[in-house]
Structure 1
Amino acid sequence: MHKHKAEGVIPQYLLKKLANEGNEKAKESIVRTKEILKKRMDKPIKRERDVTISSAQPVRDHNPDRHIYDCEHTESRRKKLARSEGDPATNDDDVNRAYDFSGICLDYFKNVLNRNSIDNLGMDLIFNVNYGENFLNAFWDPNRQEMVFGDGDGKTFLSFTRSLDVIAHEKAHGITEYTNNLEYAQQSGALNEHFSDVIGSAVKQHAKRESADSADWLIGNEIVGPEFGGIALRSLKEPGTAFTNDPQPNHMSKYKDLPVNEDGDYGGVHINSGIPNKAFFLVSMEIGTDNAAILWYNAWNNREYLHRHAQFKDAFEAILKTAQTLSSQGMMPYNTEEAVKRAFSEVGIYSLVGV
């Protein structure tokens, strides 16, 4: 069994590519990320209790508070509390963006997904911004139950708080942890990354009042710098087009069978996620992005299909079953079930399932 892993919004293979091109900050970020992850994986995830709650249950009354810490360009987390719930804006843009964007995420979770914060019990949000010297990453730490955001180097990457979808992406990793805790390797790991991209894109579109056909469907386009060599980290609409030599496939015929180690992106978790990402885009184009996000979120709570080691075909079955249930209850458009079948057929997953 593979240990639970998580990298950050910038995968190791991309940081190594940049390091090989002479980016010294990428080299430093690789070393530091490895150190963080090793410490994290050596400790079990501690919770007061195992929380898995159906999205059909009412949202809890407790309102989560936001606590934004300024690392002051050191590697010490929770170094200086810069802004807490209800406090006025500061003169630090990273602190204010973390506060404001996390509020947008919380509102989306509550009002669209009917979820109260990451754990559905009103968990307070802990952010660490201005982490390290030009640190090139952002991540959710499941052991410490907090988020960390670097400032970027101003060339390859800008500050990671600049992107609403990146903040939502990292928080969605927490949701996955509290629902099905998908193993971070191969297809289950790709589904883990996929769900974070789904929620990141949905939150951004909702906040910008975009429709599925007017959205850019890009992840992290606000954080890429002038020397990045692309327009974003990923594209859900056209996987494989976000940057030069973007390795994401858009169909199972192009699936990349990679080794389960950091050089292989833990079996392609950031790479093969392009396949279900494309399916989400296609479903959204038929029923709307918020409806698709509700559908995916409810499927994520279905442990019968989406267990810890779930594969792409399991995700399809969970989403299809959820589409049938919600449509029969009048909670989804009439064409949702067929939209799901068409989308997963177009990316080559539906044909893998004997239904």
Structure 2
Amino acid sequence: MLIRLALVTALFCLSSLTVANQPVAHIFDYQRFCAQHKNRPSQDQWWRYLVALSGRIDGDIRVYRNHLEGNGDPLVMAISQNAQYYDAFRRLMGMDGVDGRGLRHNLLVNMNRGSNGEPFECGDGEVFDAMSVRQGNELSFDAFSKTTMALEEVVGHEAYHAFIGYNSALEYEFQSGALNEALADAFGVVFRQWLESGRPDNPADIQSRSNALWQLRDVGQPLRDMISPNNHDQPDHMNQYIKLPNTADGDWGGVHYNSGIINHAFFLLAEGGQHRRLGSGPTVSGIGPYKALTIWHSGAILMHPYSDFRDAREKFQRAAVELFGHGSGEVQSLVNALDAVGIAFVPLPQAPVTTPGPTEPEETIPPVNDPVTVPTPPETSADPVVIDTNPNPGPVVTNPAPTPGPVMANPEPEPTEGTEAKRWWLIGLLLVAGGALLWLSRRQPFAETASTVASPAWSSVQQASRKADSDNASAGTSKDFKIHIDGAKLYLDPALLRTKDGQVFGRSANFCHVVLANAAISRRHLRVCLVDKALWVTDLNSQAGVMVNGQSIPPMQPVRWEIGDTLSVANRVKLERKS
């Protein structure tokens, strides 16, 4: 036993040492690449270089946690240092790698936008430019011009765009795009504040120190200001919301403009007070930059690709309740901050009620959407179940809510011959003595407010998801939505499947519709949606992944789930669509 323990310890230490000795970021000087090709690289050379730097080759500067390897000019070394600091800050926020799952951070610097507007041209340039580039599994890097690569908040901003892309995958248009920008703004600004606060080990010690630290900088002037968005052509309240077309000239529906509304809410949440321009409305008790960022970050993970401001409010509130508890001052501050900028009201999730689990298998409450009990699940219902994949189930947790939501129940066990008589005796007793109580316990709702806009959003099925498909209203029967989870029968909820959030499976009772009680499952592991009469499954950037018929699927890229397909969740739980 001691030998085995020593061996495990040694392997763990070796693994930790290996991880610590891996670069956390790679810096690529684009002008070095240009010089290798005499400032005239071909399109093929350019593309191969971008694919290679996205993870196949080492950078000109390798950034480790405690040192840098390689040489570059002062500006290149400055951004290398910022990348090292950003890795430390990211770890303080509980993020492993640029995607939250250990992916390395690639930064392309000394990039220029040419006279024809194309990025990545050779030669000197002073145009303010920064971008986060993601394309499937081929491209993954952040790019900076000479004027942006030394700005800490811009580095943090672009890096957080990458995290969003690998998690909620907010589409870069309209309100979802404005949320994408605002979330990245918040992360970048607080990253700079952490640096200016002396890089404290306790992030609660982060201080804003000056109004300038609530700005994103441009050359010689602020680019955006969270305190006074109006100073830079941004609205700071929903009554100033700017409607623009989804074109390049329309800023893709105003993503850089309307982000000012969310930014001012974030400032009020952190610093407190009333709406700065209006000087009226609710008075917010500031909770500090770090706590505010944890709410924004946790809420971002819960969003779906087309979350709007109202959905973001619901996700922020749910995250705050999870982080700080029902009735906490932090939750009230969040509510006041969102009210202050005019974002539509969304009720808070209510406190959970814990009840003991069933003492007899035959007394287990079946799922309310079981076809024997309710042949057709109602459109307004959101009634998921807890699927206990552990040998020793714990108590059942239910979360009451003022609106219809999921209830938590164990899957109905298959009756055995030895228990059939006892089952009928118990049923008769319950009907006489406790039928009303049983009915009430079955109807305890879960605090999930389903989206009212019925279409999931992915680029691969974009047209199907955006048009109003009248056929979907009547598509499918209860049998079309039947699945088996480790052999236990479950009927998916068509009403949830048609929403943008879909029906979410995972370990967390607070964040999922179907709870898979297994430690290997992520809190939010996968989403199932109905688009154009077909079921689609998306891996929500889970830690242990999802396989369809033995093949791993990439995170945040929906895959069609056909009848006969088997999903393996974290290599622990099997979901099947049987014919």
Letter in 1 for 2:222: A
Indicate which of 26, 30, 47 corresponds to 1:67: 26
Confirm or deny that 1:160 pairs with 2:148. yes
- Residue 340 of structure 1: how far off its partner (Å): 0.6
Deviations 1:91-126 (A, max 9, x none): 512211221111111111111x10112112221221
Q: Is the 8 A contact 1:139 1:148 kept in 2?
A: yes
Question: What is the CA-CA distance between 1:216 and the residue it aligns to?
Answer: 2.2
Q: Check whether the contact 1:217–1:235 (CA below 8 A) recurs between aligned residues.
A: no
Aligned partners of 1:338, 1:160: CA distance in 2, in Å?
A: 37
Distance in 2 (alpha carbons) for counterparts of 1:295 and 1:81 = 34
SS at match of 1:162: coil
Which amino acid is the alignment partner of residue 130 of structure 2?
Answer: A
1:25-64 Cα offsets, whole Å, 9 max, x none, are: xxxxxxxxxxxxxxxxxxxxxxxxxxxxxxxxxxx96455
Which amino acid in the other structure matches residue 126 of structure 1? N
Map Cα deviations across residues 215-249 of structure 1 (whole Å, 9 max, x no partner). Answer: 5244432x413xxxxx21100111121xxxx3200
Q: 2:61 aligns with which of 75, 78, 83?
A: 83
State the alpha-carbon separation in 1 of the partners of residues 190 and 76 from structure 2.
23
Is the 8 Å Cα contact of residues 193 and 273 (structure 1) preserved in structure 2? Answer: yes
Counterpart position of 1:322:
319
Distance in 2, matches of 1:346 and 1:212, equals: 21
- Supply the distance in 2 between the matched residues of 1:354 and 1:336 (Cα, whole angstroms): 16
Once the two structures are superposed, residues 118-167 of structure 1 have per-residue CA deviations (whole angstroms, 9 ceiling, x without a partner) of 1122212211111233143111111210111112xxxxxxx111210000
**What is the RMSD computed on CA atoms of the aligned residues?**
2.4
Pair 1:175–1:187, CA change in 2 (3 A):
same
Maintained 8 Å contact 2:192/2:213: no
Q: Does 1:103 align with 2:84?
A: yes
AA matched with 1:160: T
User: Are the counterparts in 2 of residues 313 and 353 from structure 1 also a CA contact under 8 Å?
Assistant: yes
The DSSP-based 3-state class of the residue aligned with 2:31 is coil
Query: Sequence identity of aligned pairs in percent?
Result: 28
Q: Which residue of 1 aligns with 2:242?
A: 256
SS in 1 for 2:243: coil
The secondary structure found in structure 1 opposite 2:110 is strand
Answer 1 or 2: which has greater helix percent: 1
Aligned equivalents of 1:215, 1:89: Cα separation in 2: 36
Amino acid corresponding to residue 201 of structure 1 in structure 2: V
Q: Which amino acid aligns with 1:145?
A: S
The within-5 A match list for 1:81-160 is 81-85=59-63, 86-88=67-69, 90-111=71-92, 113-132=93-112, 133-134=124-125, 135-143=127-135, 144-151=139-146, 159-160=147-148
Structure 2 CA distance, aligned partners of 1:316 and 1:343?
Answer: 10
User: The residue matched to 1:321 in structure 2 has which SS?
Assistant: helix
Alignment check: 8 A CA contact 1:180 1:307 kept: yes
Residue 326 to residue 320, structure 1, CA distance change in 2 (3 Å): same
> Partners in 2 of 1:338 and 1:352 — Cα distance?
13
Scaled by the length of structure 1, what TM-score is found?
0.71
CA distance in 1, matches of 2:24, 2:269: 34
Residue 256 of structure 1 aligns to a residue whose secondary structure is: coil
Q: Quote the residue 1:27 is aligned against.
A: none
- Three-state SS of the structure 2 residue aligned to 1:161 is coil
Q: Specify the alignment match of 1:28 in structure 2.
A: none
Distance 1:213 1:284 in 2: 12
Of 198, 205, 222, 1:232 maps to: 222
* 1:312 alignment counterpart: 309
User: 1: CA distance between counterparts of 2:317 and 2:216?
Assistant: 29
Q: Which residue of 2 aligns with 1:341?
A: 335
**Unaligned 5+ runs, structure 2:** 1-14, 35-40, 113-123, 198-205, 272-285, 349-579
Amino acid in structure 2 at the alignment position of 1:295: I
Aligned-residue offset at 1:292: 0.7
Distance 1:354 1:310 in 2: 17
Match of residue 278, structure 1, among 264, 284, 293? 264
Residue 292 of structure 2 corresponds to residue 292 of structure 1: yes
Q: Give distance in 2, aligned partners of 1:71 and 1:139.
A: 14
Q: How far is 1:88 from its partner? A: 4.5
Contact 2:172 2:178 survives alignment (8 Å): yes
Question: Could you tell me how far apart the structure 1 residues matched to 2:185 and 2:70 are?
Answer: 28
> Quick one: distance in 2 between partners of 1:264 and 1:103?
36
Are 1:218 and 1:232, in contact at CA under 8 Å, matched by a contact in 2? Answer: no
Code of the residue aligned with 1:69 in structure 2: it is: F
- The structure that has the greater radius of gyration is 2
Mapping of 1:194-209 within 5 angstroms?
194-209=182-197
Amino acid of the residue matched to residue 346 of structure 1? A
For residues 197-222 of structure 1, give each alpha carbon's deviation from its aligned partner in whole angstroms, at most 9, with x where no partner exists.
Answer: 0100111111111524635244432x
Q: Is the 8 A contact 2:245 2:253 kept in 1?
A: yes
Give the 5 Å matches for 1:19-38: none
**2:25/2:104 contact within 8 Å kept:** yes
1:67 is displaced (CA, Å) by 1.3
How far residue 275 of structure 1 moved from its aligned partner, in angstroms, is: 0.1
C-alpha distance in structure 1 between counterparts of 2:29 and 2:151, whole Å: 18
Asked if 1:192 is matched to 2:197, the reply is: no
| 1:123 alignment partner AA | L
DSSP 3-state at the match of 1:317: helix
Equivalent position SS for 2:250: helix
Q: What is the deviation of 1:81?
A: 4.2
SS in 2 for 1:310: coil
Residues 282 and 178 (structure 1 numbering): CA distance in 2 closer, same or farther, change over 3 Å?
same
**Cα offset, 1:84, TM superposition:** 1.2
Contact 2:68 2:80 in 1 (8 A): no
Provide structure 1 residue ranges, at least 5 long, that are not aligned to the other structure. 1-59, 152-158, 226-230
- CA-CA distance at 1:308 after TM superposition: 0.8
More strand by share: 2
Q: Distance in 2 between matches of 1:213 and 1:67?
A: 31
Q: 1:215 to 1:203 in 2, by over 3 A?
A: farther
Which amino acid letter does the alignment assign opposite residue 269 of structure 1? V
Number of residue pairs aligned between Structure 1 and Structure 2: 271
